[in-house]
Structure 1
Amino acid sequence: MLFAPRTRSEGTLTTDWSKQHRRLLGFVDAGAILWAMSGALVLRFGTPGAWERTQTEGPSYVIVTLILAGVWWFCLGFWRSREASVLGYGTDEFKRVLSASFWLFGFVATFSYIFQLEIARGYIILALPAGALSLMVARVLVRSHLRGQRQAGRSSSSVLLIGGLRNVEHLAKALRSQPMAGYRPVATYLPGTSEGTATAPDVGLPNMGHEPSVSAIVAAVRQARPDVVALSSGVPLPPQVIRELGWALTDMQVKMIMAPALTDVAGPRIHTQPVAGLPLIHVSTPNLGLGQRLMKRGFDLLGAACLVLVLSPILIAISLVVKADSPGAVLFKQERVGASGSPFRMYKFRSMVSDAEDRLEALRARSEGNGVMFKLKADPRITRVGHFLRRYSLDELPQLFNVLNGTMSLVGPRPPLPSEVALYQSHVHRRLMVRPGLTGLWQVSGRSLLSWDDTVRLDLYYVENWSIAGDLAILLKTFRAVVSRHGAF
């Protein structure tokens, strides 16, 4: 070893918060599994007397339940679903939970078939979905607790950032913008820069050194005592130095991560291939093929039809209230720009006075939007009912009929006005590659509070990284965003 292993007091990636959280997850997983499998046992065999009768006809299902529960719990750990790096952010935690569950029951089915074991299929059919659902719900509740802690600045891994000045500043701001990911920048190291170089005041991180050597960086790590060392893109260090630094950090039980110069690229598009000792990162080209388009359209039709059916009493009630509140049509129709730049008429419940469009120019100078989109918090054109409808986004429900007629999607970029499209830079036109959405990343990320650059970034991220799972996640987050009313005016 190049360096002596770091002692426990110096801090490691497995900090107290991660140990406590893994312990909590262990208890929660055990409870969820036992609850689900006990429920499956009762539903399949009924009373304890029926359980006793099964012992004379085949295996004791009480013992089978306890064994399967223990193996299931072990599989969750073997699939690293309690690993600190996947907790609180992203979907990897849930993917690992489901993978462990389905692999276990696939093995049970195969083992039973090979050795001709008479295990009740009804019991297995009940136990698997009940257990998987219980685990997912339990993990969501635990994640909500962890996110609350991270918002308060706790239960996160401290990070020492190493790289060039601008790249380190960008990485620090990116990590701080997503505290749920669990990485908290605490200091920087700027190899190759002159003495006195430091990050901007708005970054506010102390700099631990400038010398581009392994010994100097290790000394800074010992002083800062981070859980993680993050190397930004373009770090001015030779490959040999980075390699030796990795060895040293391993001996010190400090994790090292690399931040490539890739932004807004989802995980499924990234593939790593080792070639001659180099980890080459392959980024697949975003392409919504015919099969994906048909899948998305089918999802839109089914979802919109079900929502219209369920919400029809509310749609009728809102129509009557809008008509009674102020003179004018119930629906407001406005030209928007859809996929491939094609114009279409978008429907909304009227939330403004009937001559609102004629009064727009007089108010444009007072816009509180992001420079491209017009927004005004205290817009005098909004009716009494309109304030309530906008607060909870109920005015947008008629767009479900836009989804049904194919001009919009349930999830997608915000539908722009022609006047907004006229101001687009060339790269922004990529937003028009897919149908605009009733909701989208912009809806669940701040809505009217977003800057224009953030709005574009979120829309382009969606266009280039679309998936059905992503659409489902956005739809679930939309309900929370609507209830919280964050960014709605």
Structure 2
Amino acid sequence: MRQGGVVNSFPPARQQVPNGTIGQPAAAWEQRYRRAVITSDTAATFVVVTAIGEFFGARDAANWHEKWGILAFGTELLVLGALAVGRAWAPAVLGQGAEEFRRLGRSLFAATVVLALGGIALTSRNIKLWIFVAIPAIAVVTMIARYLLRLWLHKQRKEGRCLRPVLAAGSPATVHDLITRTRKFPHLGWRVDGVCTTDGSEIDGGHLDGVPIVGQLSDVAQRVRRDGYRVVAVTPDAHWSPDRLQRLAWNLEGSDAEMVVAPVLMEVAGPRLHVDAVLGIPLLRVSMPAFTGGRRAVKAVVDRVGATILLLLFSPLMALVALLVVLDSRGGAFYRQRRVGKDGREFTILKFRTMVTGAHAARAELAELNEGAGLLFKVRRDPRVTRVGSVLRRYSIDELPQLFNVLTGSMSLVGPRPPLPEESAAYGPDIRRRLLVKPGLTGLWQISGRSDLPWEEAVRLDLRYVEDWSLALDTVILWKTLRAVLHGQGAY
């Protein structure tokens, strides 16, 4: 297939084939993407090991074949073997969330441990080079390569290619929610192509949100085998008793379809969910959110160390920005404002001044121009914003002084948006859960659209962060913040 003059070697996710099924093309692109990842990991391992071997082995050319060559070849085999055993190439995780990188990290860590134990057993003096240089370098290169492959895959999915055809089976309301989410986030790789409801009755002329209703809930297995769906998404419905779900799982055996059951609990995921088997009954155990403990202590240390490093790194830029702010308009370089932090305690937030002096007093005059959602006050073309201020806001440079708030402990690098006192005073009991953790310099709201988000979506993202917080989630948010800042989406 040719798109814009470029040959696309990955076929569309759903395409009729001679036997009338739609499953084979989807399996083809999955296999090709998996081969691309394996090739990328193998090439990265070979390049890193060869480069290290050439550089350090040249210093000991006499013993190269005896010592360096064996260690280099052994390291390559060990790393690739660990990736295979650790299921880092499993199709189900490639291009999907943080699990792909977790498996990659665990596999490389296992290779490091085995290599260290082998080096001790062989009393090799050169093993430290491969443990502390080679494998960390392999980790960096493979992760970057996989990230670039994922960017390509996500671009294909946004254009409607490389998607897994999904059969959604459940109540119309829960299926509607699933369809809405898959369309909003196509990079996740799902496209609902068929719907089964309780009685298969016609909705909107036999369609639900534009997706054809292909049968009843009792027809799911038959439709999968006939049409080749890759995923069966079971959404909540009174029809789904334990016996019927078990029978459906049995009937899907032998097909290429993956069965996914959506729990009744929504917006709870990640490290809080655990599946336990008690007396043969699968139970979904939901642990309490982590507001204290060892991981929070690690987060506090990372916050302060990270803030210190970033302040040292950005200090020349911050000095230049402060000078430009003062030269551009009358007033000081910094703006201080009261915000509400953890447990409802107020603190003073620091920002570079982006508005004219006395801007807060003029807010009432702009009330009718308010474009902010919910309790937020935002004006896209605010006349109070200075020329320098508009640039600072677009790229979030005005928020750099908040690193001092992180350093002093009133904020975190990652967390919910810090609200104004008048905003928090209007919070209901549910929204007040945002105050259970420290507010952040960035967060899910920052990488998801910022001021362009509807109020309900912004609240949902903050509550999701509070419920599902983890160190891995913080790492992902920090990584994605750079792209969000460069694009400037929702910043005004």
TM-score by length of structure 1 reads 0.91
1:166-210 residue CA offsets vs partner (Å, 9 max, x unmatched): 1111122222232222111111000246x2236998832110112
Letter paired with 1:29: D
Q: Which residue of 2 aligns with 1:421?
A: 424
Please tell me whether the aligned partners of residues 341 and 418 of structure 2 are also in contact (alpha carbons under 8 angstroms): yes
Kindly indicate whether residue 142 of structure 2 is the aligned counterpart of residue 135 of structure 1: yes
CA apart distance, 1:482:
0.7
Q: Which residue of 1 aligns with 2:12?
A: none
Tell me the residue number matched to 1:98: 105
Distance 1:472 1:11, change over 3 A: closer
Residue 197 (structure 1) aligns with: 203
- 1:53 equivalent to 2:59? Answer no
Change (3 A) 1:423 1:201: farther
* Residues in 2 aligned to 1:31 and 1:426: alpha-carbon distance in whole angstroms: 53
Which one of the candidate residues 421, 444, 447 is aligned to 1:444? 447
Give me the whole-angstrom Cα distance separating, in 2, the residues matched to 1:469 and 1:251.
35
For residues 362 and 438 of structure 2, what CA distance do their matches in structure 1 show?
29
* Equivalent position of 1:110 in the other structure: 117
1:482 maps to a residue whose letter is V
Quickly say closer, same or farther: Cα 1:27–1:319, change in 2 above 3 A: same
Which amino acid is 1:457 matched to? Answer: R
Is the 2:196–2:215 contact (alpha carbons within 8 Å) kept by the matching residues of 1?
Answer: yes
Name the CA shift for 1:488/1:339 in 2 (closer, same or farther; >3 Å).
same
Change (3 A) 1:240 1:199: farther
| Pairs aligned (count) | 473
Aligned to 1:43: 55
2:86 corresponds in structure 1 to 79
Q: SS of the residue aligned with 1:15?
A: helix
The change in CA–CA distance for 1:15 and 1:437 in structure 2 (over 3 A counts) is same
Query: Are residues 232 and 199 of structure 1, via their aligned partners in 2, closer, same or farther at CA, if it must alter by over 3 Å?
Result: farther
Cα distance between partner residues in 2 of 1:198 and 1:8 = 26
Could you tell me how far 1:10 is from its partner in structure 2? Answer: 5.4
Instruction: Tell me which amino acid in the other structure corresponds to 1:34.
Output: F
- 2:437 matches 1:434: yes
2-structure distance, mates of 1:71, 1:408: 43
How many angstroms does 1:77 deviate by? 2.5
SS of residue in 2 equivalent to 1:358: helix
Q: Out of 234, 248, 251, which is 2:251 matched to?
A: 248
Question: Do the aligned partners of 1:167 and 1:232 also contact (CA within 8 Å) in 2?
Answer: yes
| Alignment correspondent of 1:336 | 339
What is the letter of the counterpart of residue 297 of structure 2? L
Q: How far apart, in 2, do the equivalents of 1:111 and 1:344 lie?
A: 54
Give the distance between the partners of 1:232 and 1:446, measured in 2 at CA: 28
Partner residue in 1 for 2:379: 376
Once the two structures are superposed, residues 246-284 of structure 1 have per-residue CA deviations (whole angstroms, 9 ceiling, x without a partner) of: 222222222211111222223211111112332111010
Which range moved further: 174-183 or 338-347?
174-183
Residues in 2 aligned to 1:317 and 1:200: alpha-carbon distance in whole angstroms: 62
Cα deviation 1:33-55 (Å, max 9, x = unaligned): 001111221233226xx344344
Correspondence for 2:130 = 124
Report the CA distance shift for 1:326/1:248 in structure 2 as closer, same or farther (over 3 A).
Answer: same
Contact 2:194–2:214 under 8 Å retained in 1 = yes
The structure-2 alpha-carbon separation of the partners of 1:13 and 1:431, relative to structure 1 and needing over 3 Å to count, comes to farther
| CA distance in 2 between partners of 1:319 and 1:440 (Å) | 25
Aligned-residue RMSD, C-alpha? 2.3
Question: Following the alignment from structure 1 to structure 2, what is the Cα–Cα distance between the partners of residues 102 and 73?
Answer: 12
Deviation of 1:381 after TM superposition, in Å, equals 0.8
Report the alpha carbon displacement of residue 117 of structure 1 after superposing the two structures with TM: 5.8
- More off after superposition, 333-342 vs 157-166: 333-342
State the alpha-carbon separation in 1 of the partners of residues 339 and 368 from structure 2.
Answer: 22
Tell me the SS of whatever aligns to 1:32: helix
Query: Is the contact between residue 198 and residue 206 of structure 1 (CA under 8 Å) also seen in structure 2?
Result: no
Distance 1:290 1:401, change over 3 A: same
Question: CA offset at residue 392 of structure 1?
Answer: 0.9
Q: 1:480 and 2:477 equivalent? A: no
d(CA) in 1 for partners of 2:166, 2:28 = 16
Give the alignment partner of residue 96 of structure 2, picking from 79, 89, 103. 89
Structure 1's 275 and 342: CA in aligned 2 closer, same or farther, altered over 3 A?
same
Q: Which residue, out of 307, 311, 333, partners 2:310?
A: 307
The alpha-carbon distance between structure 1 residues 105 and 353, as it changes in their structure 2 partners (threshold 3 A), is closer
Shift of 1:404: 2.0
TM-score (norm 2): 0.90
How far apart, in 1, do the equivalents of 2:476 and 2:313 lie?
Answer: 20
Q: Deviations over 1:71-90 (max 9, x none)?
A: 42233223222222212231
- Deviation at 1:163? 0.7
CA distance in 1, matches of 2:75, 2:138: 11
Q: How many Å apart are 1:119 and its aligned residue? A: 6.5
Q: Structure 1 residue 28: deviation in Å? A: 0.7
Letter in 1 for 2:432: H
Quote the residue 2:472 is aligned against: 469
Cα distance in 2 for partners of 1:399, 1:112 equals 47
Query: Conserved in 2, the CA contact under 8 Å of 1:44 and 1:123?
Result: no
Question: Which of 15, 20, 32 is equivalent to 2:32?
Answer: 20
1:150 aligned residue? 157
Question: Which of 174, 192, 204 lines up with 2:181 in the alignment?
Answer: 174
Question: Structure 1 residues 109, 350: closer, same or farther in 2, change over 3 A?
Answer: closer
What is the DSSP-based 3-state SS (H/G/I as helix, E as strand, rest coil) of the residue aligned with 1:415?
coil
Separation in structure 2 between the aligned mates of residue 380 and residue 482 of structure 1, nearest angstrom: 23
Where does residue 70 of structure 1 map in the other structure?
A: 77
Is 1:32 aligned to 2:44, yes or no? yes
Cα separation, partners in 2 of 1:291 and 1:107, compared to 1, 3 Å: closer
Given that residues 45 and 76 in structure 2 are in contact (C-alpha distance below 8 angstroms), is that contact kept between their aligned partners in structure 1? Answer: yes
Deviates more, 1:474-483 or 1:230-239: 230-239
**Matched AA of 1:177:** K
How far, CA to CA, are the matches of 1:100 and 1:10 in structure 2? 34
The equivalent of 2:237 in structure 1 is: 234
Contact 1:323–1:330 (CA under 8 A) maintained in structure 2: yes
Cα shift at 1:239: 2.8
Equivalent position SS for 1:352 = coil
Question: Does 1:400 find its partner at 2:407?
Answer: no
Unmatched 5+ stretches in structure 1: 1-6
| Counterpart residue identity of residue 306, structure 2 | G
